[in-house]
């Protein structure tokens, strides 16, 4: 990643995302939107998939957005962005684009990315459109009432994976979306967290710059107050613990090289990671977990770290 | 707010006024109100950094606090603060107190 902002003092001051939107108090995705808009600057077109962010920021006839913004459907944000990017390119060729170096940025949830929008994302990556695709991951279909998605972690409670005698929350493991994106050999893909803003904004800028070469992707971890069942002042604390326990490692894939970023760069050594329990225990969606189930999740996490370690050797 | 007539609406759901959710003040969402005790604030910027609403405002100027001089001061825009308490939770010096709103 290129370092555009060294300290908090270097961060952009102007707010480009209006308050008054209807995102829940303490929403992790709201923190992400605020910093995405500030960082990309005004010359960008936002393409938004259906989901919490779209529904809560565009209550007709109002909008929180200050950028040119388009929403079409749930499953096709990457296809719409491909069209916008191709149109800008063509207008530039014809000398009919006078807005300069305009960027195209997708904002989509985990449902809109891991599941329903996966084919349009894959198409956009394969055709190599110069678009920055940002996934904000709250690990379920939150806007429609907390249904499980391909991103929901194993054993998490959701309304479609209830906890009782027959089920213990979600049955399957979380899908490795970064692996899927990296397999498209994009120039740049990275994970980021709303608890590590400096890391996140430098990744946003880097990813935006690399759209000159092709598609780029950011996976931003964004806790959800009602969906994860925790007090609304804990959003950043939980996001930070997700990184510190190794549950959500910060890393970037830059032209075929995988690099772990601080503090995750120390976490290949398991003893440097906080116990996973510290992350799980703050959230009601994991309140039912037994010691044995926690041990099972930890084992899977260790295997994931081993895999990441091998990727850093590439 | 006065709504346009059906014949005056553009085709499709076009919203021509950027940032117009500002009309919707969310102050009424609060049950707890963050109060910054400036004498305990060390200007670390973390509350400003993490506020999901962008309602912690950085004021430029010369501020003398406990014998130290700072060039910034943080204030809360109570029109939109939703009272989530992230600022208070993240403040390293516990300079932000969450006070119950009057019923
Ligand atoms: C084709 C289609 N199917 C279903 C829906 C209903 N729907 C709207 S938003 C949403 C969930 C979005 O989940 P996600 O992408 O994770 O975003 P979040 O709400 O969690 O931010 C669903 C199922 C829809 N709008 N379109
Ligand atoms: S449901 Fe979750 S993601 Fe949606 S606005 Fe509320 S906190 Fe944010
Ligand atoms: S987090 Fe606390 S110490 Fe830091 S700027 Fe805000 S009020 Fe001041
Ligand atoms: S309580 Fe929440 S919305 Fe209000 S100023 Fe603090 S962080 Fe911002
Ligand atoms: Mg979601």
Q: What is the ipTM of this complex?
A: 0.96
CA of B7 to nearest chain A CA: how many angstroms apart? Answer: 15
Residue B1 has pLDDT above 80, yes or no: no
Task: Give chain B's domains with CATH numbers.
Answer: 27-100 (3.30.70.20)
CB of B82 closer than 6 angstroms to any ligand 3 atom: no
Long-range pairs, B43-46, Cβ under 8 A, ≥24: B43/B70, B43/B72, B43/B73, B43/B74, B44/B91, B44/B92, B44/B93, B45/A8, B45/A9, B45/B74, B46/B87, B46/B90, B46/B91, B46/B92
Q: What is the pTM of this model?
A: 0.97
Pick from A15, A57, A60: CB nearest B54 = A15
Q: How confident is the model at residue B8, as a pLDDT?
A: 86
**Within 10 A of A182 (CB to CB), how many other CB atoms are there?**
17
Beta pairing, strands A132-137 & A251-254: unpaired
B39-66 pLDDT, tens digit per residue, is 999 999 999 999 999 999 999 999 999 9
Question: Mean of the pLDDT values across residues A29-43?
Answer: 98
If you ran DSSP here, which 8-state letter would residue B82 be given?
Answer: -
Residue A24 has pLDDT above 90, yes or no: yes
Question: Mean of the pLDDT values across residues A81-97?
Answer: 98
**B71 in contact with chain A, both atoms CB, cutoff 8 A:** no
B68, B91, B97: which to mutate for ligand 3, most atoms within 8 A of CB? B91
If you ran DSSP here, which 8-state letter would residue B24 be given?
Answer: S
A198-220 pLDDT, tens digit per residue, is 999 999 999 999 999 999 999 99
For residue B64, what are its two tokens?
A: 């003398």
Q: At what angle do helices A77-93 and A118-127 cross, to 10 degrees?
A: 30
Q: How confident is the model at residue B20, as a pLDDT?
A: 98
**Within 10 A of B52 (CB to CB), how many other CB atoms are there?**
28
Binned at pLDDT 50, 70 and 90, residue B2 comes out as confident
- Distance (Å) of CA A203 to CA A120, A209, A286, B78: 23, 10, 30, 32
Q: How confident is the model at residue B12, as a pLDDT?
A: 79
CA of B32 to nearest chain A CA: how many angstroms apart? Answer: 11
How far apart are the CA of A26 and the centre of ligand 1, in A?
20
Residue B69 has pLDDT above 90, yes or no: yes
**C-alpha torsion angle, residues A49, A238, A265, A37 (rounded to 10):** 40
Question: Mean of the pLDDT values across residues A168-183?
Answer: 98
Collapsing DSSP to helix, strand or coil, B96 comes out as strand
Beta pairing, strands A251-254 & A188-193: antiparallel
Binned at pLDDT 50, 70 and 90, residue A83 comes out as very high
For residue A305, what are its two tokens?
A: 């770290």
For residue B68, what are its two tokens?
A: 């130290």
Helix and strand numbers, DSSP H then E, in chain B: 2, 4
How far apart are the CA of A66 and the centre of ligand 2, in A?
21
Q: How confident is the model at residue A13, as a pLDDT?
A: 97
Is A19 in Cβ contact with B3 (below 8 Å)? no
Q: How confident is the model at residue A25, as a pLDDT?
A: 98
Consecutive H or E run containing B16: none
Q: How confident is the model at residue A279, as a pLDDT?
A: 98
Residue A172 has pLDDT above 90, yes or no: yes
Q: How confident is the model at residue B90, as a pLDDT?
A: 98
Q: How confident is the model at residue B102, as a pLDDT?
A: 87
Residue A111 has pLDDT above 90, yes or no: yes
Q: How confident is the model at residue B13, as a pLDDT?
A: 87
Q: CA-to-CA distance for A186 and B50, rounded, in angstroms?
A: 30
For residue A264, what are its two tokens?
A: 């995750």
Task: Give chain A's domains with CATH numbers.
Answer: 10-312 (3.40.50.970)
Q: CA-to-CA distance for B96 and B38, rounded, in angstroms?
A: 9
Binned at pLDDT 50, 70 and 90, residue A237 comes out as very high
Question: Mean of the pLDDT values across residues B17-44?
Answer: 98
A115-137 pLDDT, tens digit per residue, is 999 999 999 999 999 999 999 99
How far apart are the CA of A269 and the centre of ligand 5, in A?
31
Collapsing DSSP to helix, strand or coil, B30 comes out as coil
Question: Mean of the pLDDT values across residues A183-202?
Answer: 98
Q: Are A11 and B54 in contact (CB under 8 A)?
A: no
Burial state string for A105-114 with b = 16 or more CB within 10 A and e = fewer than 16: bbbbbbbbbb
Q: CA-to-CA distance for B13 and A55, rounded, in angstroms?
A: 13
Is A232 in Cβ contact with B54 (below 8 Å)? no
Q: CA-to-CA distance for A75 and A81, rounded, in angstroms?
A: 12
Half-sphere exposure of A278 (CA within 13 A, CB side): 14
Q: What is the mean pLDDT of chain A?
A: 98
Q: Are B96 and B35 in contact (CB under 8 A)?
A: yes
A269-302 pLDDT, tens digit per residue, is 999 999 999 999 999 999 999 999 999 999 999 9
């Amino acid at each position: 990643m290129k370092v555009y902002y060294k300290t908090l003092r270097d961060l952009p001051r102007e707010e480009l995302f209006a308050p008054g939107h209807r995102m829940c108090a303490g929403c992790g995705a709201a923190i992400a939107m605020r910093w995405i808009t500030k960082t990309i600057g005004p010359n960008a077109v936002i393409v938004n998939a259906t989901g919490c962010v779209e529904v809560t920021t565009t209550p007709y006839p109002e909008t929180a957005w200050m950028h040119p913004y388009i929403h079409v459907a749930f499953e096709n944000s990457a296809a719409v962005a491909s069209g916008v990017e191709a149109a800008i390119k063509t207008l530039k060729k014809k000398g009919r684009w006078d807005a300069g170096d305009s960027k195209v940025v997708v904002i989509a949830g985990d449902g809109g990315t891991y599941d329903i929008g996966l084919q349009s994302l894959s198409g956009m990556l394969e055709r190599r459109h110069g678009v920055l695709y940002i996934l904000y991951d709250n690990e379920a279909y939150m806007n429609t009432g907390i249904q499980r998605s391909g991103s929901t972690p194993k054993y998490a409670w959701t309304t479609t994976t209830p906890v009782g005698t027959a089920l213990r929350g979600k049955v399957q493991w979380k899908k490795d979306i970064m692996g899927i994106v990296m397999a498209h050999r994009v120039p740049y893909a990275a994970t980021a967290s709303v608890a590590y803003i400096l890391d996140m904004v430098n990744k946003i800028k880097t990813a935006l710059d690399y759209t000159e070469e092709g598609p780029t992707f950011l996976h931003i971890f964004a806790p959800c107050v009602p969906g994860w069942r925790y007090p609304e002042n804990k959003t950043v604390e939980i996001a930070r613990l997700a990184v510190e326990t190794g549950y959500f490692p910060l890393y970037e894939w830059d032209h075929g090289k995988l690099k772990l970023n601080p503090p995750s760069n120390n976490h290949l050594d398991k003893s440097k990671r906080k116990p996973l329990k510290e992350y799980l225990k703050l959230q009601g969606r994991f309140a039912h977990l037994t010691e044995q189930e926690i041990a099972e999740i930890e084992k899977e996490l260790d295997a994931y770290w081993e895999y990441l370690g091998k990727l850093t050797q590439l | 707010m006065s709504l346009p007539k059906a014949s005056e609406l553009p085709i499709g759901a076009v919203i021509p006024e950027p940032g117009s959710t500002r009309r919707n003040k969310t102050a009424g969402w609060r049950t707890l109100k963050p109060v910054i005790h400036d004498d305990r604030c060390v200007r670390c910027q973390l509350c400003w950094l993490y506020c999901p609403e962008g309602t912690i405002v950085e004021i430029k100027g010369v501020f003398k606090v406990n014998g130290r001089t700072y060039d910034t001061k943080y204030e809360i825009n109570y029109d939109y603060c939703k009272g989530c308490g992230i600022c208070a939770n993240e403040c390293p010096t516990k300079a932000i107190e969450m006070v119950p709103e009057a019923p």
